A = this chain, B = another copy of it.
Amino acid sequence: MEHEVLRKLRSATVKAGHDALVAFSQDNVTYTAGFLVPSHASNRFRRTITVLAGEQFATQIVVNVEENLAKQRSRFADIRHYNQFTQEAVDLLADALLEAGVGAGQIAIELDYMPAQDYIRLRERLPRATFVPCRELYFNTRMIKTDEEIAVLKEVGELTDRVIGEVLREVRPGMTEKSVAQIIGNKMLEGGCDGLKCQVGSGVRSGITNCTPTDKAFEKGDIVRVEILGDMKYYRSNVTRTAVLGSPTDEQRGIWDVMIGARETCKSMLKPGTAVADLYRAYVKYLRDRGIEPTLKFLGHGIGQTIHEEPYITDTRTVVLEPNITCTMEPLYMIPGRMGFHVEDMYRIIPTGFEAMTGAITPNDELIRIG
């Protein structure tokens, strides 16, 4: 039998009235194939495409140098390859769609990712087909995780929760942001991650939303903000902690209490039936009632194949929570030029409410005191 993910995608395609489903992006192709073609990530000219049509047709198109690996690792049995210098991947796609008998059909395709040039070419090759976006179809399918996906998310989440605590305990004045990032990198890879990113900001740099680590040394009194984005078996973790080197000031303690208060209020709403827009509004209200204007226009985001996916927890989204949605919540408040506060954990919605996927090992209910 076909893999559960392929069955879910085929079923959503049929339900939406489409004749075929075509993915181009790294996240949607990897989700579909269960395997990341290495050069899909590193070389934008090496297109990788998956095609599902009807009840049977399934093919993956890869650059010739990746053919052997794809045959070993992909969920797709039918792997087709092109020469990057003499062929266009989109021509193999047109051929596949014709072979699948959907040359005049409705093709759900990643219009928000496929290059304009490929779109122009595909319309020339299949003048009778109609092309419609598949962004929502993929988002909605990916949003509800399978048991297999949840197991990986838990594994990478727990590792991240453990590492962030271990590393913060090692921080001393004089160490640099980069050296801390390096320790994090080692521990995450030793723990089984395939890759990671991390942000480390100290002192005024903690007030930069995406604070790439620099050679800045930690100093007594610095707020230290550490965010880890792990990558294991194509799934991600995202955990952020805020610490202080020494004792927090009254101002810092006051702000932190508001962050945590907001998080707890939102946790109480984290269950099937809650609209993400309401969750976001409750967060904003809690902060504003206490004189704090939230820095970001969202409270959190889905997490799975990518760091940011649906449901974004914001008032521009209509998603209502349901079981096996996985997401983060990340109260965040940046005071540019001074300091920043940020706590982020991963949650899974279950029938009775939520299960925290991180936070048990390294809680951050108070500012973590280090150094």
Contacts and interface: CB of A to CB of B under 8 A. Distances in A.
A314 interface: yes
A37 to B, nearest CB: 9
Nearest to A197: B42
A142 B86 CA distance: 22
Given A68-B336, A111-B115, A307-B43, A38 B212 contact: yes
Contacts of A42: 197, 229, 307-308
Given A42-B307, A185-B189, A115 B117 contact: no
A288 interface: no
Interface string A328-369: 000000001000000000000000000000000000000000
A74 interface: no
A45 B298 CA distance: 15
B115 A297 contact: no
* Copies of this chain present: 2
A312 interface: yes
A95 interface: no
Contacts of A336: 68
A293 interface: no
Contacts of A307: 42-43
Contact of A209 (B25, B26, B66, B83): B66
Interface string A39-68: 100111100000000000000000011101
Contact of A45 (B118, B186, B308, B314): B308
B298 A85 contact: yes
12 contacts: A27-B44, A43-B307, A68-B208, A83-B297, A85-B316, A85-B317, A111-B115, A111-B117, A114-B115, A115-B116, A116-B118, A185-B186
